[in-house]
Amino acid sequence: MRFITFCVLLMGLISCKNDKDISAVPVTDETDRVSSQTSTIEKTNNNLIYPDEKHFKSIRQVTYGGDNAEAYWSFDDKQLVFQSNFKDWDLSCDQMFLMNASQTFEDSKPPMISTGRGRTTCAYFLPDNKHILYGSTHLVNDKCPDVPLRENGKYVWPVYESFDIFIADLEGNIIAQLTNEPGYDAEATVSPKGDKIVFTSMRSGDLELYTMNLDGSDVKQITDELGYDGGAFFSPDGTQLIFRSSRPKSEAEIKEYKDLLAQGLVQPTEMELYLCNADGSDLRQLTHLGNANWSPFFHPDGKKILFSSNYESERGFPFNLYLIDLDGKNLERVTHGETFDAFPVFSNDGKYLAFSSNRNNGGNRDTNLFIAEWQD
């Protein structure tokens, strides 16, 4: 799943299993552009599909610059909300934007529906298709918080204690604050049943998963094991959760994790996927691949998980998308890029997949949104 948009850059830079360091990310020099003149989701440039990407019937590029990620569908599949830090849109850090499912933005800018203050993360539609929730730091500071990239030579993510979760309408007006506990509250997503929210919180002293009702009531802790549990999504029937976690085991790993967390930092280079029931029961580890396995999302049939991983990488990249059964069997590689594919999200009808990729970025580090027509 899914974290904050700058992780797109960080995940392209993280080190391999034996901690070899790299200073830059090679990216493919592709220059084909998709026309912004499109009236349907299906109109695409299929040159954007790499060989062996058999699950993509067609594909369309949506954005053309900056880091664009975490595009989530409305419940009726007519719109998406996503986050971007594209400097040409006068942004200093991630803000939230609204789009119709058929739009592209090569020469235009979508409407911003966050406040423009602070840093935002992880927007998600509510069932009425008229409101979104997202995390924001704006109550503490209108300015973008600093983004540390390294601590003692290792790549890190900040988990800002100023993040809280808010509900806004599609004009950008905040109408409710769902969390007000001390510490980090973010990464909220909504059950397809439309009754529950799952999110990550620091309120216990560790980064755990919680659920709550759509109005913020009935908060329940779901996980309670040391480690960063985040990026959670419900299964299509709302009965299960998939998430990624860094679970330190050795004394040295535990000390490093706690020391970083005390500074509001986590290290994202070793993460595996976990499944549990929506109440936290029957917790089990799904992947045992090594490196970083993250941004998981349920396949529409509820029997598989689509996720991003660099487990095959020798130098920390590329990241590609993979499918895996809920019992951990039948691992299948879905994308075949040389740099970065992540944040896969199926439309509710299962026909389309939104994801972020470095493909077709002209040789720079831009990460753009793509919408693919999915076929099993």
What one-letter code names the amino acid at 5? Answer: T
Yes or no: say if 182 and 174 are a contact pair by the CB < 8 Å rule: no
Predicted local confidence at residue 279, as pLDDT = 98
Q: Is the pLDDT of residue 354 over 90?
A: yes
b/e burial code for range 52-69 (CB count within 10 A of at least 16 → b):
ebebbbbbbbbbbbbbbb
How confident is the model over 67-99, as pLDDT tens digits? 999 999 999 999 999 999 999 999 999 999 999
- Kindly state the tokens that stand for 298: 């349920």
Predicted local confidence at residue 316, as pLDDT = 84
How confident is the model over 219-271, as pLDDT tens digits? 999 999 999 999 999 999 999 999 999 999 999 999 999 999 999 999 999 99
Q: Is the pLDDT of residue 9 over 70?
A: no
How confident is the model over 295-329, as pLDDT tens digits? 999 999 999 999 999 999 988 889 999 999 999 99
CA–CA dist 131, 114 (Å, integer): 12
How confident is the model over 206-224, as pLDDT tens digits? 999 999 999 999 999 999 9
- According to CATH, the superfamily of the domain at 7-374 is TolB, C-terminal domain (2.120.10.30)
Which residues share a beta bridge with 229? 245
Strand pairing class (284-285; 341-346): unpaired
- Kindly state the tokens that stand for 365: 């580090």
Predicted local confidence at residue 233, as pLDDT = 98
Lookup result for tokens 């506990």 = 181
Could you give the angle at the alpha carbon of 255 between the alpha carbons of 252 and 256, nearest 5°? 85
How confident is the model over 109-128, as pLDDT tens digits? 999 999 999 999 999 999 99
Dihedrals phi, psi of 254, to nearest 5 degrees: -65, -45
pTM: 0.89
Yes or no: say if 191 and 238 are a contact pair by the CB < 8 Å rule: yes
Predicted local confidence at residue 45, as pLDDT = 62
Yes or no: say if 320 and 333 are a contact pair by the CB < 8 Å rule: yes
Q: Is the pLDDT of residue 152 over 80?
A: no
What burial class does residue 328 get, using C-beta atoms within 10 Å of its C-beta: 0-12 exposed, 13-18 middle, 19+ buried?
middle
What are the Cα distances from residue 293, in Å, to 11, 185, 219, 310?
11, 22, 28, 7
CA–CA dist 351, 374 (Å, integer): 5
Q: Is the pLDDT of residue 11 over 60?
A: no
Yes or no: say if 243 and 296 are a contact pair by the CB < 8 Å rule: yes
Predicted local confidence at residue 44, as pLDDT = 53
Helix (H, G, I), strand (E, B) or coil at 168: strand
What burial class does residue 315 get, using C-beta atoms within 10 Å of its C-beta: 0-12 exposed, 13-18 middle, 19+ buried?
middle
Predicted local confidence at residue 92, as pLDDT = 94
CA–CA dist 204, 355 (Å, integer): 32
How confident is the model over 13-57, as pLDDT tens digits? 332 233 332 222 222 333 232 333 333 444 456 789 999 999 999
Residue 307's nearest CA partner among 317, 318, 296 is 296
Dihedrals phi, psi of 155, to nearest 5 degrees: -70, 140
CA–CA dist 351, 376 (Å, integer): 10
How confident is the model over 155-193, as pLDDT tens digits? 899 999 999 999 999 999 999 999 999 999 999 999 999
Give the other-Cβ count within 10 Å of 128's Cβ: 12
In 120-267 the beta strands, taken as DSSP E runs, fall at 120-125, 131-136, 150-151, 154-155, 157-158, 164-169, 174-177, 185-190, 196-201, 208-213, 220-221, 228-234, 240-246, 265-266
Predicted local confidence at residue 120, as pLDDT = 98
Q: Where are the domains of the chain?
A: 7-374
